[in-house]
């Protein structure tokens, strides 16, 4: 997605050879117009997938997922990383290890928000090791719903997540695919021309 890649080039900050900081438009401050275009693009790519719900994980996935849900005209559910103060009953749960943060989160979704037969589109902001997405896929399976695809805003193609997700048989659509970081610059995959 050209607009997103332009934004990454102008406003993204390469922290080291594995990490990109995008706090000015995606992970801290959020740019609504860009999120709108991201939502429109995901909705276009998955328009024939008969999506009934969008699923993401708090916190940074929510903005892009909400815009996608708006364009697809379906509800958005976000998985929680923190315990709800209200209820801990009837949950689907998965353990998600973060290689980046070196911590494990128990990720949960209330069973009432995922139904048998739901057609789920998973959206997230970053794809690195794929643990978060695979945890969400696990939760969808527990609900006997179906993952119709995975939409990622920024894929770090040099990390194992994209391969793991494709190998598991899921359709993966990433709006910006990063080949590498070098000398403080972002190098996109050569076949990332959309």
Residues that bind ligand G4P (CB under 6 A): 19-22, 27, 57, 59-61, 98-101, 125-132, 156, 161
Q: How far is CA 31 from CA 22, 37, 67, in A?
A: 11, 10, 12
Q: Are 143 and 118 in contact (CB under 8 A)?
A: yes
Q: How far is the CB of 124 from ligand G4P (least distance, A)?
A: 7
CB of 134 to ligand G4P, least distance (A): 8
Which helix or strand (DSSP H or E) is residue 34 part of?
helix 32-45
Token pair in block for residue 170: 């899921």
Q: Given the complex with ligand G4P, which of 52 and 133 has the nearer CB atom? A: 133
Q: Are 125 and 60 in contact (CB under 8 A)?
A: yes
Question: Which residue number, 52 or 177, has a Cβ lying nearer to ligand G4P?
Answer: 177
DSSP 8-state class, residue 23? I
CB of 116 to ligand G4P, least distance (A): 27
Q: Which residues pair with 147 in a beta bridge?
A: 120
Is the CB of 9 or the CB of 59 nearer to ligand G4P?
Answer: 59
Q: How far is the CB of 101 from ligand G4P (least distance, A)?
A: 5
Closest CA to 160 of 138, 193, 133: 133
Between 52 and 64, name the residue whose CB sits nearer to ligand G4P.
Answer: 64
């Amino acid at each position: 997605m050209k607009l997103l890649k332009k934004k990454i080039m102008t406003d993204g900050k390469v922290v080291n050879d594995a990490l990109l900081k995008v706090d000015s438009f995606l992970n801290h401050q959020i740019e609504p117009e860009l999120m709108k275009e991201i939502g429109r693009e995901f909705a276009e790519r998955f328009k024939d997938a008969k999506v009934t719900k969008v699923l993401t994980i708090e916190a940074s996935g929510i903005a892009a997922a909400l815009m996608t849900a708006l364009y697809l005209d379906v509800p958005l559910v976000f998985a929680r990383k923190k315990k709800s103060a209200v209820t801990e009953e009837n949950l689907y749960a998965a353990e998600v290890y973060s290689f980046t943060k070196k911590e494990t989160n128990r990720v949960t979704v209330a069973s009432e928000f995922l139904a048998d037969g739901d057609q789920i589109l998973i959206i997230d902001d970053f794809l690195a090791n794929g643990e978060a997405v695979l945890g969400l896929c696990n939760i969808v399976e527990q609900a006997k719903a179906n993952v119709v695809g995975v939409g990622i805003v920024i894929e770090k193609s040099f990390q194992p997540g994209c391969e793991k997700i494709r190998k598991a048989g899921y359709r993966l659509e990433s709006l910006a695919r990063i080949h590498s970081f070098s000398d403080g610059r972002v190098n996109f995959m050569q076949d990332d021309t959309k």
